[in-house]
Structure 1
């Protein structure tokens, strides 16, 4: 009975596989948003102000970073919790594939969130005349919360606290 339960429990990890695959649809949605933004940018390139151009470019960077984060979560999450990905050596194997455990994945996610938050905050600073001071203060507080959280997570995962 116990052995059957343990086998069933172990095999239930495969329930995560469609979830990781489902994240690929989010990557598709990001790609559509990216190219919509590129289309808008090029269709208005002659009339757009420099500050607006920078804001649109920051949006493109933001979308690319979120896409990279999604791919990282999809691939390493699958490898860590479901099964090893079998990729032939002659294929385009990602350098970090198979080397990222859940702790390093957590650190990369935290760093990505801080980077994405930084881009959002920079976009807000580029548009200061349209933002109320109290809202700007909240943006900074939220960003600093992400920074401090990422820092504390990196300290807690450091070798200082591991035996």
Structure 2
């Protein structure tokens, strides 16, 4: 009976595969958003203000970072929890593939969230005349919470606390 339960538990990891595949649909959605923003930028390039161009470019960077985060979670999560990815020899292999355990994935996710939050906060500062002070204060508090959380997670994973 114990052997059967262990086999079922081990094979249940494959239930995660459709979830990781589903994340690729989110990457497709981000592609549509990205190119919608590019179209908006190019369609109005002659009439748009410099500050608005910067805000649009920051939005593009934000979308790209979220897309990179999704790909990293998809592939590393699949490799760590489902099965090793087999990439053909003639295909280009990502340098980090197969080298990121769940601890380093967690650290990369935390760093990505801080970077995405930083870009969002910069967008708020660029659009300061349209933002209430109390709203901006909450953005800064939330961002600092992300920074502190990422710092504490990295500190918790450091060798200092493992000995």
Q: Aligning the two structures, in what range does the TM-score lie when normalised by the shorter sequence? A: over 0.9
RMSD: 0.6
1:64-103 correspondence to structure 2 within 5 Å: 64-103=64-103
| Match in the other structure for 2:60 | 60
Instruction: Calculate the TM-score normalised by the size of structure 2.
Output: 0.99
- Secondary structure of 2:162's match? coil
| Match in the other structure for 1:22 | 22
1: CA distance between counterparts of 2:21 and 2:96?
19
2: CA distance between counterparts of 1:37 and 1:75?
27
Q: CA deviation at 1:36?
A: 0.3
Structure 2 gap ranges (5+): none
- Secondary structure of 2:141's match? helix
CA deviation map 1:131-161 (0-9, x unaligned): 0100010000000000000000000001111
Aligned length: 163
Structure 1 gap ranges (5+): none
Structure 1 moving runs of 4+ over 4 Å: none
CA deviation map 1:72-107 (0-9, x unaligned): 000000000000000023211100000000000000
CA deviation map 1:5-50 (0-9, x unaligned): 1001100000000000000000000000000000000000000000
- Secondary structure of 1:160's match? helix
| Match in the other structure for 1:158 | 158
- Secondary structure of 1:161's match? helix
Instruction: Calculate the TM-score normalised by the size of structure 1.
Output: 0.99
Is 2:112 the counterpart of 1:125? Answer: no
